[in-house]
Amino acid sequence: MHPIRQPRLGAVLAAALCANAMLALPAAAASKGKPTVAEAERFIADAEARLEKLGLDAGRAEWVAENFITLDTETMTAQANEQYLGLAGEVALAAGRYKDLALPAASGRKLMLLRQNLVLSDDADRAAYARLAASMTGAYGKAKYCPPGAARDACLPLGELEKILATSRDPARLKEAWLGWHAQSPAYKQDYAKYVELSNKGARAMGYADTGALWRARYDMAPDAFAADMERLWQQVRPLYASLHTYTRFKLRQAYGAAAVPASGPIPAHLLGNMWAQSWDNLYPLLKPADDARGEDLTTLLEARKTTAVEMTRYAEGFYTSLGMRKLPETFWERSLLTKPRDRDVVCHASAWDLDGKDDVRVKMCINPTAEDFRVIHHELGHLYYDLAYSKQPALFKNGANDGFHEAIGDTVALSITPAYLKKVGLMEREPDPSQDIGPLLYTALQKVAFLPFAYMVDKWRWQVYGGQVKPADYDKAWWALKEQYQGVARPAPLGPDGFDAGAKFHVASDTPYARYFLAHVLQFQFHRALCREAGDTGPLNRCSIYGNKRAGAKFQQMLEMGTSKPWPEALKAVTGEDRLDATAMLEYFAPLKAWLDEQNRQLALTDAQVKQ
């Protein structure tokens, strides 16, 4: 899954808080008496201009900090972010004065975006909230598992533990690594509980029932309606996931034995190749078809050609320009970081940056000539082409239609990285026969289909926590009830007395909303199907590539240019002709795999029954 990336300049409301002493309110906010439309327009224009400036300052500070990692650059970034978040909080509070006015549509939408924020007006609450947020994120980043009796320098950070989960086939070692990491998060469970209380206080100050309701309100629909829509989408994809889960359990049972993997019910979490069981692609060697023939290996081809980071990026740029989109600005090539410097440490996690709201777009990524990095750079440029497309929008509208859209754009393009595309750009000599599609489809499903229930249940758990249905004493109980219900995954050991397994996921410790990733996984297939239809492709959806099709590109560009100026259903309709999310496109894409999985499950069930006899 793609790591957290820089928020766009238009994302003024992304969990900002008033984390410092109050700055001077925009002049219009100081007005007294009955508010007027003219006053509201002045307030919005002033707030938008000030937020854009501080947002740009914070973005540039963060760019420097991630490229030159020092105490000073970290301090400068914290100060810039504090100013930005402080202004965002005070503007959210002041905007309440105009909420009942009948404003022009664009101004009304801007005011709504400004108000979708939590605000803590008490100095002590603000300080505590900021301290707890920094403390939990810091504790997560520094956490290590120290095996009993091991020397201090033998303690294992998360990255090393993840490697064990990904590569080891020793159940005992897998279990130790899994439990070792999950034993770290109880240290900040109490901090999380206090943080939840303060967060809810800030959300209620803005008129929301709780923080979960505030998060759900950011999707142009009532919070309860958004929750119902998420459940509807999950029910659409559940049969596909069930087939993949059943097949995976059969194969793991063969690999590890009946004592380790039950014949039915949940799969032990530590056996799924990932610390959170959120993606299962590391299991592909155990699950691959018996006649696996995946054709030419892209990593091998890229390495053989000694493909450079710039060349990898040029391939990705070429995909977007083939759709009729502009070339990247020359400054992109001058200012981006595409390879790891030899003289200093940098944050190598791939990310896309828009540093002036116009055309100073950049990528920060340590690119290697691998199939994965080839896909990731196509994904990252999707963020930048979105930024460039809506650059003429007002600052508050310079963002994705909703937070799932930005992640879905590049992933939509990545679905078009097919053998046909690779052959057209000269990276492959021949396309494999359709009979060889099952292996690649299975590998993709282990990444994308396996991820869906996890992406859903993370925020479903938090909605229950923020809503008060789940108290701190029951954090683990509720977490694992949802994991078993949606993922079909079980804890590899009994619950502890004061556990906090949810906190072992970064997005919980950092309080980053997760529904965006679920939405992005649904959206990318819906976009892909619509664009393939626009391109006139009538073949199997998994073989379609829109590379080189200007009609599909124009349809895509039309939606990108909208930014967040309209409710997201309108942006969705601009591409797909549909105004609600629909997971049937994902089902269509994986239809050949679903049929294969069901047949494999039938045969494996017969074999299992014969063994029991």
pLDDT surpasses 90 at 9: no
Residue 279 in any domain: the answer is no
pLDDT given for residue 82 in this prediction: 74
Strands (E), 317-368: 351-354, 361-364
Last residue of a domain, one of 116, 146, 169: 116
Q: How many helices (H) and strands (E) does the chain have?
A: 25, 6
Decide if 83 contacts 58 (C-beta within 8 A). Answer: yes
Tell me whether strands 489-490 and 267-268 are parallel, antiparallel or unpaired: parallel
Rounded to whole angstroms, the Cα distance separating 60 from 68 reads: 12
Q: Classify residue 497: in a domain, yes or no.
A: no
Neighbours of 453 (CB within 10 A): 25
Asked if residue 469 is part of any domain, the answer here is: no
- In angstroms, the CA 95 to CA 563 distance is 22
Give pTM, 2 decimals. Answer: 0.91
DSSP 559-575: HHHHTTSS-HHHHHHHH
**What is the spatial distance between Cα 234 and Cα 240, in angstroms, rounded to a whole number?**
10
Please name the residues in contact with 544: beta carbons below 8 A apart, sequence gap of 6 or more.
416, 418, 528, 532, 535, 537
CB 211 within 8 A of CB 15: no
158 with 271: CB under 8 angstroms? no
pLDDT of residue 2: 38
Last residue of a domain, one of 94, 116, 138: 116
How many structural domains comprise the chain? 2
- Residue 380 included in any domain: yes
- Write the pLDDT tens digit of every residue in 467-522: 999 999 999 999 999 999 999 999 999 998 899 999 999 999 989 899 999 999 99
Report helix, strand or coil for 579.
Answer: coil
What is the extent of the structural domain holding 39? 18-116
Domain assignment of residue 84, yes or no = yes
For residue range 36-79, list pLDDT tens digits in order: 999 999 999 999 999 999 989 988 988 888 888 788 887 787 77
Which of 66, 85, 116 delimits the end of a domain? 116
**Integer angstrom CA distances of residue 248 from 192, 280, 284, 360, 596:** 34, 9, 10, 45, 13
Whether residue 466 lies inside any domain: the answer is: no
8 Å CB contact between 526 and 581: yes
Residue 382 domain-assigned (yes or no): yes
What is the percent of the chain where pLDDT is above 70? 93
What is the tens place of the pLDDT at every residue in 96-120?
Answer: 899 999 999 999 999 999 988 777 7
Q: What is the pLDDT of residues 535-547, one digit of tens each?
A: 999 999 999 999 9
Note whether residue 521 is domain-resident: no
**Residue 613 banded pLDDT, cuts 50, 70, 90:** low
In degrees and rounded to multiples of 5, residue 554 shows phi and psi of -65, -40
